[in-house]
Amino acid sequence: MEPKGPARVERRLAAILAADVAGYSRLIGADEEGTLNRLRALRAEVIDPKIAEHHGRIVKTTGDGLLIEFASVVDALRCAAEIQAGVAESNAPLPADKRIDLRIGINMGDIVVEDGDIFGDGVNIAARLEALAEPGGICISARVQEDAAGKLDLVFEDIGEQQLKNIARPVRVYRVVTAVRPAMPQPGSDPPLPDKPSIAVLPFANMSGDPEQEYFADGMVEEIITALSRIRWLFVIARNSSFAYKGQAVDVKQVGRELGVRYVLEGSVRKAGGRVRITAQLIDVTNGTHLWADRFDSPLEDVFDLQDKVASSVAGVIEPALQAAEIHRSAARPTTDLSAYDLYLRALAALYPNTRERTFEALGLLEQAIAIDRHYAPALAWAAICYMGLVRDGWAEEPGVSRHKGIDLARRALEAGENDPRILANAANALAVFGEDIGAMIGLVDRALTLKPELCPRLVGERPS
């Protein structure tokens, strides 16, 4: 018998549509059962029928997202516009805090097909365009606009070249002007503010002049969110929701209304040479008042102290009486080694969208971080999640070995970060998939939710992308 040659890689040109639910974490946190029921109804009554009508193929779904392949740009755009119109019609009788709004991105490009899934820059760009879209809106690449121009009753607004995360070249982006936007909330219909101080930390602008440093700015914001989340009396919006505004010029009052928070923190990061500068300002969105602004400069080796200073200052402005005790409890760093931290941030940036290649890339970076600091709990937990994904999705070359490594990493993460709710939940998620005692894993998740209830239910495996 002749040995088999290398597996043939299937490539084709396709229109890729990526969609997700704007503000999913807030909706789920406010009304999990109602949100899931409304989302199922939208899928059954609007989204899935439109996809079938316009000859789309659903490649994969997540809790709040869809990836769809079309053979035609015109079909993809028409489907997107009709879905947004149908969703808006469904939302019309609902109060603002119950509405489900989609963001959609469409790209035309070469894709790699493997076991029914699709990969490549064509897919990645569609996902990044979706992140640029407003709730109820559609963003498309220049290639889509060129192919669709004059064929549909749609108007396109050129918003210029955009540097998309993990995409080497700038992409010219167009906004579909006639796409239905969600109606502005009427007075009195905004999501109610939580009964404790509430804040959203928006993505900080990368002022380094180097797109490759985007991961560092995002990672700084992630750490600030994490530090603030350890303060029990402070309600902090999850990163997935606040990063929906990345790359957009936003009205902080509108952000406050949409996310249901009283305070918004925004700022910028500049990393140059061996130093980093953070500028930040805290705004009370109920009246637009700037409560606090400051600039922090530090050598890179003191970056962890810098993050604590920002978190401490914000918490101190919001609730001075509780600052000292709560910030003291949140001051412990998950690692003290800057190189391990940098590798961890690069891994988080590599994790989305979820593909076999990206999972291996992230895992390699995390294992380097763990080799530097073997007690680095967040890196241990995410490495366990990577092994879980490889086994679960059939990507592991040796599933038994990957399972063993994943279990070991998850247990080490629990030892190193026993009081961190995200580490508890990620480790429990991995161990449950690997077949460990499900009752014990549910107990770990319950403990995580006791520590930080508002993280439910996006806590487990929440990916900062």
CB atoms within 10 A of CB 97: 18
Among 172-181, 317-326, 384-393, 437-446, the range scoring the smallest mean pLDDT is 317-326
Last residue of a domain, one of 310, 329, 348: 329
DSSP letters, 99-135, are ---EEEEEEEEEEEEETTEEESHHHHHHHHHHHHSPT
pLDDT at 206 over 80: yes
- Whether residues 167 and 223 share a domain: the answer is no
- Two tokens, residue 209: 């002049």
- Whether residues 219 and 342 share a domain: the answer is no
Among 232-246, 303-317, 436-450, the range scoring the smallest mean pLDDT is 303-317
In this structure, what CATH number is given to the domain that contains residue 221? 3.40.50.10610
Within a domain: 148:
yes
- Whether residues 168 and 24 share a domain: the answer is yes
Residue 186: pLDDT band by 50, 70, 90 thresholds? very low
- Whether residues 302 and 345 share a domain: the answer is no
Within a domain: 193:
no
Q: How far is residue 323's CA from residue 321's CA, in Å, rounded to a whole number?
A: 6
Question: What is the number of domains present in the chain?
Answer: 3
In this structure, what CATH number is given to the domain that contains residue 430? 1.25.40.10
pLDDT at 329 over 70: no
- Whether residues 227 and 134 share a domain: the answer is no
- Whether residues 350 and 313 share a domain: the answer is no
Within a domain: 299:
yes
Alpha carbon 351 to its chain centroid, in Å, reads 10
Cα–Cα distance list, 11 to 14, 55, 109, 147, 161 (Å) = 9, 19, 10, 20, 27
Give me the mean pLDDT over the 405-425 stretch: 85
Within a domain: 191:
no
Determine the structural domain holding residue 390 and report its residue range: 338-455
The answer to whether 267 touches 283, Cβ cutoff 8 Å, is no
Identify the bridge partners of residue 17 per DSSP, sorted by sequence position. Answer: 68, 106
pLDDT attached to residue 187: 42
Q: Which long-range contacts (CB under 8 A, 24 or more apart) does 281-284 make?
A: 282/314, 282/317, 282/318, 283/252
- Whether residues 324 and 303 share a domain: the answer is yes
Among 144-158, 166-180, 237-251, the range scoring the smallest mean pLDDT is 166-180
What are the tens digits of pLDDT across the range 248-283?
Answer: 777 888 888 888 888 888 888 888 777 888 888 888
pLDDT, greater one: 53 or 461: 53
Within a domain: 208:
yes
Q: How far is residue 292's CA from residue 283's CA, in Å, rounded to a whole number?
A: 7
Burial 48-78 (b: 16+ CB within 10 A, else e): eebbeebebeebeeeebbbbbbbebbbbbbb
Within a domain: 182:
no
pLDDT attached to residue 144: 93
Identify the bridge partners of residue 67 per DSSP, sorted by sequence position. Answer: 18, 60
Last residue of a domain, one of 118, 146, 176: 176
What are the tens digits of pLDDT across the range 348-360?
Answer: 888 877 788 999 9
CB atoms within 10 A of CB 187: 5
- Whether residues 28 and 170 share a domain: the answer is yes
pLDDT at 138 over 90: yes
- Whether residues 206 and 343 share a domain: the answer is no
- Whether residues 151 and 16 share a domain: the answer is yes
pLDDT at 52 over 90: yes
Q: How far is residue 250's CA from residue 352's CA, in Å, rounded to a whole number?
A: 24
Among 14-28, 219-233, 374-388, 399-413, the range scoring the smallest mean pLDDT is 219-233
pLDDT attached to residue 104: 94
Most confident stretch, 3-17, 311-325, 345-359, 367-381: 367-381
- Whether residues 319 and 449 share a domain: the answer is no
Within a domain: 252:
yes
Last residue of a domain, one of 264, 297, 329: 329
pLDDT attached to residue 194: 56
Within a domain: 184:
no
In this structure, what CATH number is given to the domain that contains residue 130? 3.30.70.1230
- Whether residues 168 and 84 share a domain: the answer is yes
